[in-house]
């Protein structure tokens, strides 16, 4: 069962399960690391604080001051979710009769487009909140001069597409190559297994790296887009 | 590249997945906020405040220590000075006392000498007086012995007469 209908909407089983698993992983991660919060940080609290410092650093790099401090939670959650979603498909892929059940949710363009859309919607929303609608329009589309309006309009769409498809492309390519190496391993018995195993290990390791980098890039670009909407352009 | 997207569009776009992701993400953000974000960031802020306070108080206690050290240094040099003053005072007092004692001794000696010389003079006078008296007594005795031997009746009468005469003259003159 590839997808099912509910309330007139189409749901993909693989995406629903994978998002839920990523959700549970992120929640378990923050839940078990935040059990003992003390003035002198120990163990899990150190990891958690390091990640929070890391994402706060990304936000502060783009948005120093009060605007940035409001986005810390968003960046933190987004980073953890994208990171765990990217890694999920590397360790666990369940497919029954050619139908996926568990994979990286970020290996689906619909999910990454949704992520990018949420981010950019937030950016536009914060822009309107900060400058009012008129100020938002002039700041986002008529600067540095009004003649750039068409380019600025196009840029909004390219932002959405590049943000989403960069993440999707990286993770989808990683998973596809993993599957290809996997099928190579089982194609001609033992010899191909021996050849494919180190390849698979190497590619998995590299994909872990790519997944982390892409999570970082996604969060960084998200804050860049938000900062461009909420800070006045010179 | 777009084939899954196109495929999805053919089957009806996956609005359900999008909705599910959005709900999941908002819910996750809320859970993260409750379970990790708020307590951890609060603790991080508390720690930052505490460290700032600690640095301030360390700065303050360092300044206090410096003040105390300066005070102690002052007290030390003051005590040196004080000790010097005390020693000088003691020397002064000692020499004054010495002077006093010497003066007293000299005065006493002077007095003693004077008393001694007065005594000697007195004794000399006494001795003189008693010697004179002795001499007078002796001379009277000698005289009486001489007179007793040589004085006869005539002479005695003549002597008495002269004596009475003398008395009479003395009365007149008086």
CB A218 within 8 A of CB A115: yes
Bridge partners for A94 per DSSP: A102
Who has greater pLDDT, A45 or B129? B129
The beta-carbon neighbor of B47 closest among A30, A39, A108 is A39
- What's the N-to-C CA distance of chain B in angstroms? 181
Interchain contact, A110 vs B18, CB within 8 Å: yes
Q: pLDDT per residue over B93-126, tens digit each?
A: 999 999 999 999 999 999 999 999 999 999 888 8
Say yes or no for a CB contact (<8 Å) between A30 and B5: no
- In the predicted model, what is the mean pLDDT of chain B? 83
Q: Is A217 helix (H, G, I), strand (E, B) or coil?
A: helix
In order of A135, B39, B40, the CA distances from A38 in angstroms are 44, 9, 9
Domain containing residue A222 = 3-230
pLDDT tops 50 at residue B10: no
- DSSP letter string, A169-184: HHHHHHHHHHHHHHHH
Q: How far off is chain A from B63, nearest CA to CA, in Å?
A: 27
Greater confidence, B155 or A208?
A: A208
Comparing A120 with A41, the larger pLDDT belongs to A120
Tell me the nearest-neighbour CA distance from A177 into chain B, angstroms. 15
More confident residue, B77 or A103: B77
Task: Say which residue, B108 or A195, is predicted with more confidence.
Answer: B108
> Does residue B150 have a pLDDT over 80?
no
Q: What is the pLDDT of residue A233?
A: 62
Distance CA B68, CA A118 (A): 62
Of the partner residues B17, B33, B36, the one whose CB lies closest to the CB of residue A111: B17
B110 is in which domain, residue-wise?
3-173
Average pLDDT over residues A188-196: 78
Q: Which of A2, A5, A10, A20 to mutate to test the interface with B (most CBs of B within 10 A)?
A: A10
**Greater pLDDT, B166 or A97:** B166
Tokens of residue A59, six digits = 């936000």
CA distance B28 to chain A (A): 7
Residue B34 sits at the chain A interface (C-beta within 8 Å): no
Nearest to B16 among A9, A38, A108 (CB): A9
Mean pLDDT value of segment A184-196 = 78
The pLDDT confidence band at residue B9, using thresholds 50, 70 and 90, is very low
| Number of domains, chain A | 1
Residues 6+ apart with CB under 8 A from A9: B15, B16, B19
Angle at B118 between CA B117 and CA B120, to 5 degrees: 60
- Residues of chain A contacting B8 with CB distance shorter than 8 Å: 12, 110
Closest in B11, B41, B50 to A39, CB measured: B50
Contact A73 B29 (CB under 8 A): yes
Tokens 């196109």 appear where? B6
- Asked if A112 and A165 count as a contact pair (C-beta separation under 8 A), the reply is yes
Q: Which residue would you say has higher pLDDT here, B33 or B119?
A: B119
Residues counted in chain A: 234
pLDDT at A50 over 50: yes
Domains contained in chain B, number: 1
Q: Which residues are CB-neighbours of A142 under 8 A, at least 6 positions away?
A: A148, A149, A152
Chain B residues near residue A3 by CB distance under 8 angstroms: 11, 14
pLDDT of residue A87: 84
């Amino acid at each position: 069962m590839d997808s099912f209908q509910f309330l007139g909407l189409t749901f993909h089983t693989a995406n629903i399960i994978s998002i839920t698993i990523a959700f549970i992983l992120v929640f378990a991660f923050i839940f078990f690391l935040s059990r003992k919060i003390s003035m002198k940080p120990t163990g899990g609290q150190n990891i958690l604080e390091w990640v929070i410092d890391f994402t706060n650093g990304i936000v502060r790099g783009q948005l120093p001051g009060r605007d940035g401090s409001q986005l810390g939670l968003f960046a933190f959650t987004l980073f953890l979710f994208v990171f765990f979603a990217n890694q999920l498909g590397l360790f666990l892929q369940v497919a029954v009769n050619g139908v996926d059940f568990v994979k990286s949710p970020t290996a689906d363009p619909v999910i990454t487009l949704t992520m990018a859309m949420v981010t950019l919607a937030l950016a536009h929303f914060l822009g309107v909140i900060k400058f009012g609608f008129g100020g938002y329009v002039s700041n986002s589309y008529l600067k540095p001069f009004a003649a750039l309006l068409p380019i600025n309009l196009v840029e909004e769409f390219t932002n959405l597409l590049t943000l989403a498809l960069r993440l999707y492309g990286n993770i989808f390519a990683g998973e596809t190559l993993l599957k290809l190496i996997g099928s190579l391993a089982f194609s001609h018995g033992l010899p191909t297994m021996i050849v494919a195993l180190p390849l698979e290990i190497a590619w998995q390791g590299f994909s872990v790296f790519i997944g982390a980098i892409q999570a970082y890039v996604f969060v960084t670009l998200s804050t860049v887009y938000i900062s461009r909407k909420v800070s006045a352009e010179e | 590249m777009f084939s899954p997207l196109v495929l999805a569009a053919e089957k009806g776009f996956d609005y359900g997945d999008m909705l599910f992701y959005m709900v999941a993400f908002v819910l996750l953000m809320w859970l993260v906020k409750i379970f990790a974000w708020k307590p951890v960031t609060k603790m991080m802020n508390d720690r930052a405040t505490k460290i700032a306070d600690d640095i301030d108080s360390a700065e303050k206690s360092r300044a206090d220590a410096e003040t105390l050290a300066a005070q102690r240094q002052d007290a030390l040099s003051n005590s040196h000075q004080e000790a010097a003053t005390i020693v000088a005072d003691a020397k002064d007092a000692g020499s004054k006392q010495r002077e006093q004692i010497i003066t007293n001794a000299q005065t006493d000696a002077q007095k003693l000498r004077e008393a001694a010389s007065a005594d000697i003079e007195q004794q000399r006078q006494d001795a003189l007086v008693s010697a004179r008296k002795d001499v007078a007594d002796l001379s009277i005795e000698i005289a009486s012995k001489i007179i007793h031997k040589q004085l006869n009746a005539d002479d005695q009468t003549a002597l008495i007469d002269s004596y009475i005469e003398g008395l009479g003259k003395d009365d007149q003159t008086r």
